[in-house]
Structure 1
Amino acid sequence: MRFNSTLTFIFIFILIAVGSGIISGLKGYTLGHEALQEVSQPDIRRGERKLNNEDDSSSGQDALVSEADLLEEVNEKMDRSSERAVPLAEDAED
Structure 2
Amino acid sequence: MKKSIKNDRTLLLTSILLFFMLAAGIMSGVVGFVSGHEALKGVTQPDIRPNNNKGGSTQNKSTKGLELIQEQEVLASVKKQMGIDEPLKDAAQAKDAKKQAADFEKAVKNDPKTGLPISKLPIVKQDQGITMTVKSMATRGNNLQLELTLSNHGSQPVNFGQGTIGVTTDRSQNVNATTSGLPGSLAANGRDVKVFLNIPKNALDKVKSVSLQLTDVDKKLQLEAAGIPVGK
Q: Which protein, 1 or 2, shows the higher relative CO under an 8 Å CA cutoff with sep ≥ 6?
A: 1
Using structure 2 for the length normalisation, give the TM-score.
Answer: 0.20
Choose 1 or 2 for highest CA Rg.
Answer: 2
Greater strand content: 2
Using structure 1 for the length normalisation, give the TM-score.
Answer: 0.45
Greater helix content: 1
